[in-house]
Structure 1
Amino acid sequence: MRTRLAGALVAGILAATLGPVVALAALAAVPTTPAGWSHVWSDDFTGAAGTGVNTSSWIYDIGSSYPGGAPNWGTGEIAYHTSSTQNVYHDGNGNLAIRPLRDAAGSWTSGRIETQRSDFQPPAGGVLRVESRIQMPDVTGAAAQGYWPAFWMLGTPFRGNYWNWPGIGEIDIMENVNGVNKVWGTLHCGTSPGGPCNETTGLGGSTTCSGTTCQAGFHTYRVEWDRSVTPNQMRWYLDGALFHTVNANQVDATTWENATNHGFFIILNVAIGGSWPGNPTAQTVSGVPMLVDYVAVWQRAGGSTPTPTPTPTPTPPTGSRDAYSTIQAESYNAQSGVSVETTTDSGGGQNIGWLANGDWVRFDGVSFGSTPARSFTARVASGAAAGVSGLVEVRLDDVNSAPIGSFAVANTGGWQTWTTVPGDIAAVTGTHTVFLRFTSGQPADFVNVNWLTFRH
Structure 2
Amino acid sequence: MSATSGIPRRRRALIAALSTLGLAAVLATAATQSADASAPTPPSGWSQVFLDDFNGSAGTGVNTSNWQYDTGTSYPGGAANWGTGEVETMTNSTSNVALDGSGNLKITPLRDSSGNWTSGRIETNRTDFQPPAGGKLRVEARIQMPNVTGNAALGYWPAFWMLGAPYRGNYQNWPSVGELDIMENVNGINKTWATMHCGTASGGPCNETTGLGNSTACPNTTCQSSFHTYTMEWDRSVSPEAIRFYVDGVNYQTVTSSQVDATTWANATNHGFFVILNVAMGGGFPAAFGGGPTSATESGHPMLVDYVQVLSASGSGGTTPPSGNRDAYSAIQAESYDSQSGISTETTSDTGGGSDVGYIANGDWALYKGVNFGSTAATQFYARVASGAASGVSGLVQVRLDSATSTPVGSFSIANTGGWQTWQTVPANISSVTGTHDVYLTFSSGQSADFVNVNWFDFGH
Rounded to whole Å, the distance in 1 between the matches of 2:125 and 2:53 is 16
CA distance in 1: counterparts of 2:299 and 2:272, whole angstroms = 35
Q: Distance in 2 between matches of 1:104 and 1:267?
A: 29
Q: TM-score, normalised by structure 1?
A: 0.62
Give yes or no for contact 1:2–1:199 (8 Å, CA) kept in 2. no
Aligned to 2:230: 221
- Tell me which residue corresponds to 1:91: 100
**Given residue 125 of structure 1, which amino acid in structure 2 is its aligned partner?**
G
Alignment of 1:238-317 (within 5 A): 238-278=247-287, 279-304=292-317
Residue number in structure 1 paired with 2:111: 102
Q: Distance in 2 between matches of 1:271 and 1:63?
A: 12
Deviations 1:16-48 (A, max 9, x none): xxxxxxxxx731001101111111111000011
Contact 1:42 1:295 in 2 (8 A): yes
Partners of 2:259 and 2:313 lie apart in 1 by: 24
Measured after TM superposition, the shift of residue 77 of structure 1 is 0.2
CA contact (8 A) 2:135 2:235 kept: yes
Distance (whole Å) between structure 2 residues aligned to residue 207 and residue 74 of structure 1 = 25
Q: Does 1:152 align with 2:161?
A: yes
Report the Cα distance in structure 1 between the residues aligned to 2:306 and 2:317, rounded to whole angstroms: 30
Distance, in Å, in 2 between the alignment partners of 1:277 and 1:257 is 31
SS in 2 for 1:30: coil
CA distance in 2, matches of 1:48, 1:224: 32
SS in 1 for 2:176: coil
2:193 matches 1:184: yes
| 2:207 counterpart of 1:194 | no
- Separation (CA, whole Å) in 1 of partners of 2:315 and 2:219: 34
| AA in 2 matched with 1:217 | S
Matches within 5 A, 1:276-425: 276-278=285-287, 279-304=292-317
- 1:221, CA displacement in angstroms? 0.1
Measure how far apart 1:4 and its partner are.
6.5
Q: Which amino acid aligns with 2:304?
A: L
**Percent identity (aligned):** 67
2:212 maps to which residue? 203
Letter in 2 for 1:3: A
Secondary structure of 1:215 counterpart: coil
How far apart, CA to CA, are the structure 2 residues paired with 1:289 and 1:205? 24
> What's the counterpart of residue 116 of structure 1?
125
Residue 185 of structure 2 aligns with an amino acid whose one-letter code is N
Q: Which moved more, 1:26-35 or 1:81-90?
A: 26-35
Please name the residue that 1:405 is paired with. none
The code of the aligned residue for 1:136 comes to: M
Which of residues 55, 58, 66 in structure 2 aligns to 1:49?
A: 58
Letter in 2 for 1:151: F
For the Cα contact (< 8 Å) 1:3–1:201, is it kept in 2? Answer: no
SS of corresponding position for 2:258: helix
State the match for 2:80 in structure 1.
71
Q: Residues of 2 paired with 1:262 and 1:205: CA distance?
A: 24
Q: CA deviation at 1:267?
A: 0.0
Which one-letter code corresponds to 1:298 in the other structure? Answer: L
- Whole-Å separation in 2 of the counterparts to 1:173 and 1:211: 19
- The answer to whether structure 1 residue 132 and structure 2 residue 145 are counterparts is no
Q: Is the 8 A contact 1:127 1:225 kept in 2?
A: yes
Residues 1:3 and 2:3 are matched in the alignment:
yes
The structural deviation recorded for 1:305 is 6.6
**Any gaps of 5 or more consecutive residues in structure 1?**
11-24, 307-456
In the alignment, what sits opposite 2:416?
none
CA change 1:305–1:57 in 2 (3 A) is closer
Distance 2:222 2:254 in 1: 23
Check the 8 A contact 1:44/1:94 in 2, yes or no. yes
What is the correspondence of 1:16-35 to structure 2 with a 5 Å cutoff? 26-35=35-44
Give 2:311's aligned amino acid. Answer: W
Aligned residue for 2:285, secondary structure, equals: coil
Structure 2 distance, partners of 1:305, 1:91, is 38
Amino acid across the alignment from 1:180 = I
Distance 1:225 1:147 in 2: 28
Partner SS for 2:284: coil
How much does 1:108 deviate?
Answer: 0.1
Amino acid at match of 1:288: H
CA displacement 1:375-413 (0-9 Å, x = unmatched): xxxxxxxxxxxxxxxxxxxxxxxxxxxxxxxxxxxxxxx
From 62, 69, 73, the equivalent of 1:60 is 69
Whether the 8 Å contact between 2:159 and 2:279 is mirrored in structure 1 is yes
Gap change, CA 1:144 and 1:214, over 3 Å in 2? same
- Distance of 1:304 and 1:160 partners within structure 2: 37
1:243, 1:176 → 2: CA distance?
Answer: 15
Residue of structure 2 equivalent to 1:423: none
- Please give the secondary structure, in 2, of the residue aligned with 1:276: helix
Asked whether the 8 Å contact 1:119–1:264 carries over to 2, the reply is yes
The equivalent position to 2:171 in structure 1, one of 162, 182, 195, is 162
Counterpart-to-counterpart distance in 1, 2:220 and 2:253: 20
Consecutive aligned runs of 4 or more in structure 1 exceeding 4 Å deviation? none
CA–CA distance in structure 2, aligned partners of residues 79 and 42 of structure 1:
28
Q: Which amino acid aligns with 2:146?
A: P
CA 1:177–1:97 in structure 2 vs 1: closer, same or farther (change >3 Å)? same
Q: What's the offset of the Cα at 1:2?
A: 3.6
Alpha-carbon distance in structure 1 between the residues aligned to 2:123 and 2:35: 25
Aligned positions, number: 288
Cα distance in 2 for residues equivalent to 1:275 and 1:217: 26
Confirm or deny: 8 A CA contact 1:3 1:188 kept in the other structure.
no
**Structure 1 counterpart of 2:256, one-letter code:** N
Aligned 1:225-240 pairs, distance under 5 A: 225-240=234-249
AA at the equivalent of 1:302: G
